[in-house]
């Protein structure tokens, strides 16, 4: 699979699926960052913490323009 196909497949996913995949990636991203800083942490512990927080609600669709001028 090339990167263009991957990008196109990502763009076709519903917003809820994108959010879920990003949310599930957080523990791994944090564990990698902590390992880089030589402060390893168990991924399972990060997953437990994330489960306690719960999936965020998307109160505003990403397609709306930002109220903050760029």
pTM beyond cutoff 0.95? no
Structure token pair of residue 59 = 């109160």
Rounded to whole angstroms, the Cα distance separating 35 from 47 reads 16
**Ranges of each domain in the chain:** 9-52
**How confident is the model over 45-58, as pLDDT tens digits?**
999 988 888 777 75
**Does 66 score more than 70 pLDDT?**
no
Question: Do the Cβ atoms of 26 and 50 come closer than 8 Å?
Answer: yes
pLDDT at 12: 95
Name the residue among 26, 14, 15 with its Cα closest to residue 53: 26
Question: Do the Cβ atoms of 47 and 32 come closer than 8 Å?
Answer: no
């Amino acid at each position: 699979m090339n990167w263009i196909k991957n990008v196109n497949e990502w763009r076709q996913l519903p917003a809820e699926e994108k959010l879920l995949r990003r949310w599930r990636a957080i523990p791994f991203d944090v564990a990698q960052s902590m390992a880089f800083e030589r402060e390893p942490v168990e991924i399972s512990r990060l997953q437990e913490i994330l489960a306690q927080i719960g999936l965020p609600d998307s109160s505003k669709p990403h397609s709306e323009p930002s109220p903050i001028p760029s």
